[in-house]
Amino acid sequence: TQLLEQSPQFLSIQEGENLTVYCNSSSVFSSLQWYRQEPGEGPVLLVTVVTGGEVKKLKRLTFQFGDARKDSSLHITAAQTGDTGLYLCSSGGSNYKLTFGKGTLLTVNP
């Protein structure tokens, strides 16, 4: 089972600030997904990256996939209170079974 390390585990910032969270593994990702989960709800898929070096943008969110496909980052520009949530990275495996990182709990303060 592939182990995913996410950092930081907790992050509290002010509205308008920028932030980056990371997801790393010692082995190559076949694919990598980023999810956001709000309290009391299920995770919502933000993006899937497959190709090494890939960069995807989703409004103020920028996702990068490392060239070696062992790491990924999520950068949020000008964070808003609505960005508050648990950010999870996951990696695909056989039979669609995903492995999740421990998550980054982001709090954006007004």
Partner 1 sequence: GAVVSQHPSRVICKSGTSVKIECRSLDFQATTMFWYRQFPKQSLMLMATSNEGSKATYEQGVEKDKFLINHASLTLSTLTVTSAHPEDSSFYICSASVRASASYNSPLHFGNGTRLTVT
Among the candidate windows 18-26, 31-39, 54-62, 77-85, which touches partner 1 by CB under 8 A?
A: 31-39
Binding mask 42-81 for partner 1 (x = CB under 8 A): xxxx--x-x-------------------------------
Report if residue 94 touches partner 1, rule: CB under 8 A: yes
Give 43 or 66: the residue with its C-beta nearer to partner 1.
Answer: 43
What radius of gyration, in Å, describes the C-alpha atoms of the chain? 13
Give the E-state strand segments of the chain in sequence order.
Answer: 5-7, 10-14, 19-24, 32-37, 44-49, 55-58, 61-65, 71-76, 85-91, 99-100, 104-109
